[in-house]
Structure 1
Amino acid sequence: MRGEPSLAPSNVVVCIATYRRPTGLKALLESLNTQEFSGPEPDVTLVVVDNDPANPAHATLGDLSALTRWPVIYVAENTRGIVAARNRALEEAPPDTDFFVFVDDDETVVANWLNALITTQLETGATAVQGPMVPRYETTPPTWIERLRIFDIGPFQQGEQLGFAATGNSLVDAHFVKAHGLRFDTRFNTSGGEDEEFFGRVREAGGVIRAAADAIAYDEVPTGRMTCGWVLRRAFRMGNTLGRVALLRRRGRGLRFLKGFGAAGRGLLYLFLLGPFSKAGRIRGLMEIWRGAGMLAAFVNFRFAEYSDTLVAGDRDSVT
């Protein structure tokens, strides 16, 4: 941890990994351009890492710096994968960076988003800060999607301590990251879950994660994700990530293995008790079963590649 937080302006790098979402990237940059601050404005730099050099975003959008009031470092990362893009963003950040902030190219943010993340860090001294993520649906979602809050993260109590953070809407102390040599693990390059693993190591190194209740990011949810099949696939991947992280840490492996059976057992219970009365109950049960199956699959070295080219193609902009 750093010492007492300073109220002086900070050097902030907003890290954006993008892949075939020029429309989403443009919307994100426009929302970043509306940012307001309650005190002195920090020095902000945007690092945009394009993970599709063959069809780069600038070919569609032109000079990205024209879309924002802040300096933009735009680079192409030839190695495909979410981890390669996130690590490149860390590497491209200026050496005097105080905070890394993560946001994705399918999100937009409220006007006080960055102010809320930074203020929470300064007030609490947290190593990392997580903001809520609120879904915006492309079309009207099924009732069970909203009832189960499939795509929501939060809401949170301001400043509450959390056991996780996600790279869709978070800040982390750059000095802490550098001091502990932290990078995203390349073994999660195509599977996703790299943020679960990364922020797990932040906590293991003594870091504390706090919530910024007002740092809201809106997550654009395409119609293709609002299906039972997609939701169960995500549940399997999340369970698979938890199992793989437990194996890598060599701590809690037996407990995680048991939790895999426990999740599957809870799922069956939900199916029998709630399934007959509501679709939400049935899907909740199935999600637990698939999450448990993902955990158990990790113990036989199965890795689910959620960010493979085939699976990613379905919810990206058409590119010519």
Structure 2
Amino acid sequence: MSVDARSQAGTHVAICIATYKRPQGLRALIDSLNDQQLGARDVRVTLVIADNAPATTARSVLGEIQDLSCWPVIYVLEHERGIVSARNRTLAEAPPDADYFAFLDDDETASENWLAELLGTMILPNTVAVQGAVEPRYDEAPPAWVEQLNLFRMGPYEQGAELPSAATNNSMADAAIIRKQTMRFDARFNTTGGEDEEFFSRLRIESGGTIRAAAQALVWDHIPAHRATMHWLRRRWFRMGHTLARIAQIRRKGIPIRVVKGFAAIGWGLVMCVFLGFGSKARCCKGALEIYRGAGMLAAFLQIRFDEYNTAAVRLDRAGGG
């Protein structure tokens, strides 16, 4: 559907939310979506929620707020564990006339202009997806080095800037293109994470379109205290490197470059820790994280599997552990 046709018929956005054992977070997210300011835009919204918990933790929350919600809600229980299973279920359950799929996580809240800013960026020429900015909200004040390194932020961005990929914690994509190409999140990333990096970069490549930054489409990400630690962050950076290498392997493209970058990240990390880290906790920590990122790349090429989202790890994370 053309942009003009959308403006005449009214734009329909399916906001896709995968949730797992975060009923309070889901309630806060939906409350923030109720407060969206769309001005004169003719926009319909449907919330599509896939609950991936074995017990229907989200259903009780929806029972409380559904009557008060500004938007209709499609709620389903996805029994197959894994982040990809839940995300793909939201795509499958989304209304067939949705013009756009928007993605948020169940530990976030959206600014009141979030949806309007995403839609305003989607109409830029040749745009197939957009990425908004993410700011952290900490349970407790984090160590100074965490804030100095901006480890939990996405952005700030230049409005409309081209990006190589996007993330499901604040993004929107053209639903017609996803349907036409029968795109889904890759099941090989179901428990490893990194499925959004692979999905959006594939969308960009296969469609020939552009992913752009929506600089003012802000969401806040809830960061529990156990995540603002080196223990948690080193696992995340290892997985980030692991994801990039796996994508190169799957596409059979850029593998030698990724191997070189893996060794380079480890080497640069060692230099930062050993030679540049004196008197700078932030620089030393960044060097350590680079080492883990490089190690993650090389581990993938050695066929060492890393499941960041296996059931035990996710349960520990939800319980406030490492």
TM-score band (shorter)?
over 0.9
Question: How big is the shift at 1:16?
Answer: 0.4
Identity across aligned pairs (percent)? 51
What is the distance in 1 between the residues matched to 2:271 and 2:3?
A: 48
Match of 2:277 among 275, 284, 293: 275
Alpha-carbon distance change, 41 to 65 in structure 1, aligned in 2, over 3 angstroms: farther
CA distance in 1, matches of 2:287, 2:92: 42
Task: Give CA-to-partner distance per residue, 1:68-122, whole Å, 9 cap, x none.
Answer: 2100000000000000000000000111111000000000000000000011112
| Residues 13, 46 of structure 1: 8 Å contact kept | yes
Moved more, 2-11 or 209-218: 2-11
CA contact (8 A) 1:58 1:64 kept: no
- 285-294 vs 200-209, greater mean Cα deviation: 200-209
TM-score, normalised with respect to structure 1: 0.95
Q: Map 1:105-144; keep pairs closer than 5 Å.
A: 105-144=106-145
Separation in structure 2 between the aligned mates of residue 110 and residue 93 of structure 1, nearest angstrom: 23
Code of the residue aligned with 2:222 in structure 1: it is: E
Q: Return the letter of the residue paired with 1:252.
A: G
How is 1:67-106 mapped onto 2 (pairs within 5 angstroms)? 67-106=68-107
Give 1:54 shift. 1.9
- Residues 45 and 72, structure 1, Cα contact 8 Å, conserved in 2: yes
Partner of 2:38: 37
Residue in 1 that maps onto 2:210: 208
Contact 1:30 1:67 in 2 (8 A): no
Asked whether the 8 Å contact 1:166–1:195 carries over to 2, the reply is: yes
Provide TM-score, normalisation by structure 2. 0.95
Partner letter of residue 242 of structure 2? N
Equivalences for residues 218-237 of structure 1 within 5 A: 218-237=220-239
How many angstroms apart in 1 are the aligned matches of 2:211 and 2:316? 33
Partner of 1:254: helix, strand, or coil? helix
| Residue 165 (structure 1) shift | 0.3
CA contact (8 A) 1:18 1:49 kept: yes
Structure 2: runs of 5 or more not aligned: none
Q: Equivalent residue for 2:166?
A: 165
- Tell me, yes or no, if the aligned pair for 2:16 and 2:103 is still in contact at 8 Å: yes
Q: Is the CA contact (8 Å cut-off) linking 1:11 and 1:97 kept in structure 2?
A: yes
Mapped pair 1:192 → 2:193: yes
Q: Supply the RMSD in Å over aligned alpha carbons.
A: 1.5
Give, as a single letter, the amino acid of the residue that structure 1 aligns with 2:44: D
Distance 1:207 1:259, change over 3 A: same
- Asked if 2 retains the 8 angstrom alpha-carbon contact of 1:7 and 1:122, the reply is no
Deviation (angstroms), 1:275: 1.4
Out of 278, 284, 287, the residue aligned to residue 285 of structure 1 is 287
Counterpart CA distance in 1 for 2:170 and 2:190 is 19
Give, as a single letter, the amino acid of the residue that structure 2 aligns with 1:53: P
Residue 66 of structure 1 deviates from its aligned partner by 2.6
User: Aligned-pair distance for 1:3?
Assistant: 5.1
Shift of 1:132: 0.2
Alignment partner of 1:301 out of 294, 303, 307 = 303
| Structure 2 Cα separation of the partners of residues 60 and 208 of structure 1 | 37
- 1:257: Cα distance to partner? 1.1
Which residue type is aligned with residue 112 of structure 1? N
1:180 CA displacement? 1.3
Deviation for aligned residue 1:125: 4.3
8 Å contact from structure 2 (residues 126, 209) kept in 1: no
For 1:257-304, what per-residue CA distance to the aligned partner results, in whole angstroms no more than 9, with x for missing partners? Answer: 111111111111111232112111111101111000000000111221
Q: Secondary structure at the match of 2:165?
A: coil
User: Matched residues in 2 for 1:60 and 1:142: separation?
Assistant: 33
Structure 1 runs, 4 residues or longer, greater than 4 Å off: 2-6
Q: Deviations over 1:243-266 (max 9, x none)?
A: 111100101111111111111111
Give a deviation string over 1:34-53, Cα, whole Å, max 9, x none. 00113223111000110013
Contact preservation (8 Å) 2:7, 2:42: no
Distance 1:32 1:60, change over 3 A: closer
Question: Partners of 2:249 and 2:83 in 1: how far apart?
Answer: 21
Match of residue 249 from structure 2: 247
* Counterpart-to-counterpart distance in 1, 2:29 and 2:74: 15
Where structure 1 has 5 or more consecutive residues not aligned to the other structure, the ranges are none
Equivalences, count = 317
CA distance in 1, matches of 2:69, 2:44: 14
